[in-house]
Amino acid sequence: MTNRIFYTKPSITELETGYAADAAANGWGARCYDYINRFEREFGAYLGSGFAIATSSCTGAMHMGLAALGIGPGDEVILADTNWVATVAPIMHLGASPVFVDVLPDTWCIDPTAVERSITPRTKAIIATHIYGNLCDMDALIEIGKRTGIAVIEDAAEAIGSVWHGRRAGSIGTFGTFSFHGTKTLTTGEGGMFVTSDADLYEKVLTLSNHGRARSQKKQFWPDAIGFKYKMSNIQAAIGCAQLERIEELVSRKREILAAYMVRLSTLNGISMNPEYTGTINGAWMPTAVFHPATGINREMLQQAFETANIDARVFFHPLSSLSMFAEKPANVNAWSIPERAINLPSYHDMSKADIDRVAETLISVVRSHQDNSAVRLHKSA
C-alpha cells in the first residue's frame, strides 16, 4: 500500500518551535502579551490594515465584528450559499437572519447581482467569502455597500496571500476575518484575526474581546458591557509570528502546487480550477477541480477513486441552505450544482512532485474510466 497523501498539513520549522519554546518559557508576567502584540502589529502591517486583534478563531472574529456593528434580531445578513457553517453561525447566535444567495460559476464566490436582488430594508451586512483563496468581486460589492450604506465584510479565512487589484484580501471591506486553523496556509494551530481600518469599530471589538472591559476604564475588573472571550494565547501568537516571517514562502508554495495541478490536468476537457483574473493574485489555499455537467463526472466517483488510491480528498462545501437547520431552500443553481461535480485536491508545503502526479493521475483515470464505460454503454445500445 502506498503512503497516504493528506489533503493538507502545516509547515513547521525550527523558527516556529523556537518562538513557541520562548513563549512557553518566558512569555509570562510582564511579557505575557509580547508575541500577541507583535503578531497583531505585524499582521496588520502585512495586510495594510490599520488595526488587528488576534482571536481564538475566525468564527470568534466574525461574531465580535458583527456584534460591534449592532447586528441582532430583525436584521438580515446576505452571504453566499457556498460556505462553511462557521460563516453563518455568528449570524444565528446574534439572532439575525441569514439570506443565502447564489455564487458565480467561475470563482464560486458570492454573485453581486444576486446580492443586489436580495437587499431589503432589514439588510445590515453583506459577507464576501473568498472561497478556497478565490476572490469575490470586491469592486462590485463595495460599490453596492457605498450606494446602500450596507457594511461589506470580508470572510478571508481561506484567502491569506490573495490580492484584489493591489489590495490584500481582508483589508478592503468594513472589516475582515482570518483563520489560522491547522489546515490553513498560515497556522497557529487554532486561531484567527479581526482586522479593520475603522478606529471606532476597532475600539468596540477590542472592548468586546476583553469581556466588555474598555481599555480606557480605570476601575480594575470593571466591564462596561457584556463581551466575549475569544482570545489567542501568547504561545499560539509566537507560532504565528514565525509563520508570518515565512508568509511569502508559504503562499508561493501553495501557488506552485496549484499551477502544477493545472499543467498536469490541462489535457482534460470539461474541468476548471481556481481562477486568477487580470489584476488579482490567488493565494491558492485549496486547489479545487470542478467538472462540467456534460462530463458526467460526479463527487461520488471522485471520492471512491481517491479512497482507492489512498489519497485524502475533501468534498466541495455543501450549500448552507441544504443543511437541516435551514427550512428555506432558495433556487441557488450554482451553489447546489457545483458540489455534486467537484473535489478539493491535496495541497501542503512539502508535497512532492510524485505526490502531485499521483493525485493528478487519479483524476485523469476517473475521466478515462468514465469515458470508456460510456463508450461501452453507447455501443451496447446501438
Say if residues 327 and 381 touch (Cβ distance below 8 Å): no
Strand-pairing partners, residue 381, are none
What the block records as the C-alpha cell of 98 is 441569514
* CA nearest to 191, candidates 377, 57, 22, 358: 57
Q: Distance (Å, rounded) from C-alpha 368 to C-alpha 348? A: 27
Q: Distance (Å, rounded) from C-alpha 66 to C-alpha 81? A: 18
Which residues, in sequence order, are CB contacts of 301 under 8 Å at separation 6+? Answer: 366, 370
Place of cell 456584534: 67
The yes-or-no answer on residue 353 being catalytic is: no
Question: Cα-flanking dihedrals φ and ψ of residue 33, to 5°?
Answer: -115, 10
Say if residues 138 and 172 touch (Cβ distance below 8 Å): yes
The residue annotated as part of the active site, out of 9, 146, 184, 380, is: 184
C-alpha distances (whole Å) from 73 to each of 77, 98, 124 are 11, 11, 11
Question: Cα-flanking dihedrals φ and ψ of residue 7, to 5°?
Answer: -75, -30
Which residues, in sequence order, are CB contacts of 247 under 8 Å at separation 6+? Answer: 46, 160, 161, 185, 186
* Alpha-helical runs (H) found in the chain: 14-26, 34-47, 58-68, 85-93, 112-118, 138-148, 199-209, 234-245, 247-264, 299-308, 333-337, 353-381
Question: Cα-flanking dihedrals φ and ψ of residue 225, to 5°?
Answer: -160, 170
38 SS3 class: helix
Q: What does the DSSP 8-state code read for residue 189?
A: B
Task: Tell me the catalytic residues.
Answer: 184
